[in-house]
Amino acid sequence: MGDWITGWPTGGSAGDSSADPLPVLLCLPPAGAGCHQFRTWQQRLSGTARVLGVQLPGREDRWHEPLPDTVEEVVEAVAAELGTAVGPGVPLVVYGHSFGGLLGYEVARLSTGTPYALVVSGCPAPGSWGVGGRRGAGAGSGSGSGEVDDAELERLLDTGDLDPGLFDEDSHTLMIEMLRKDAGLSRTYTPRAQPPLQLPLYVWGADDDETVRPEELDAWRAVTEGPFHRHRIPGGHNAVLHRPDPLLAQLAGLLDDARQSRNAIDAGA
Question: SS3 letters for 75-140?
Answer: HHHHHHHHHHHCCCCCCEEEEEECHHHHHHHHHHHHCCCCCCEEEEECCCCHHHECCCCCECCCEC
Local confidence band at 12 (pLDDT 50, 70, 90 cut-offs): low
Cα 84 from chain centroid? 19
Please state the rounded mean pLDDT for residues 249-262. Answer: 96
Q: How far is Cα 209 from Cα 203, in angstroms, rounded to an integer?
A: 14
Length of the chain: 269
Helix count (H) and strand count (E) of the chain?
A: 8, 7
Which pLDDT tens digit goes with each residue over 14-56?
555 565 799 999 999 999 899 999 999 999 999 999 999 999 9
Q: What percentage of the chain carries pLDDT values higher than 90?
A: 65
Which pLDDT tens digit goes with each residue over 72-100?
999 999 999 999 999 889 999 999 999 99
Residue 4 pLDDT > 70, yes or no? yes
Q: Looking at this protein, which amino acid is placed at residue 137?
A: A
Local confidence band at 143 (pLDDT 50, 70, 90 cut-offs): very low
Q: SS3 sequence, 123-150?
A: CCCHHHECCCCCECCCECCCCCCCCECH
**Would you say the pTM of this structure is higher than 0.85?**
yes
Q: How far is Cα 202 from Cα 95, in angstroms, rounded to an integer?
A: 9
Q: How far is Cα 90 from Cα 54, in angstroms, rounded to an integer?
A: 18
DSSP letter for 205, please.
E
Question: Which residues fall within 8 angstroms of residue 117, CB to CB, at 6 or more apart?
Answer: 93, 94, 199, 200, 201, 202, 254, 258
Local confidence band at 221 (pLDDT 50, 70, 90 cut-offs): very high
Q: How far is Cα 255 from Cα 265, in angstroms, rounded to an integer?
A: 15
Averaged confidence pLDDT in the chain: 86
Instruction: Please name the CATH architecture into which domain 5-268 falls.
Output: 3-Layer(aba) Sandwich (3.40)
Segments making up each domain of the chain, as ranges: 5-268
Residue 206 pLDDT > 80, yes or no? yes
Give the 3-state secondary structure of residue 51: strand
DSSP letter for 224, please.
B
Q: Are 22 and 70 in contact (CB under 8 A)?
A: no
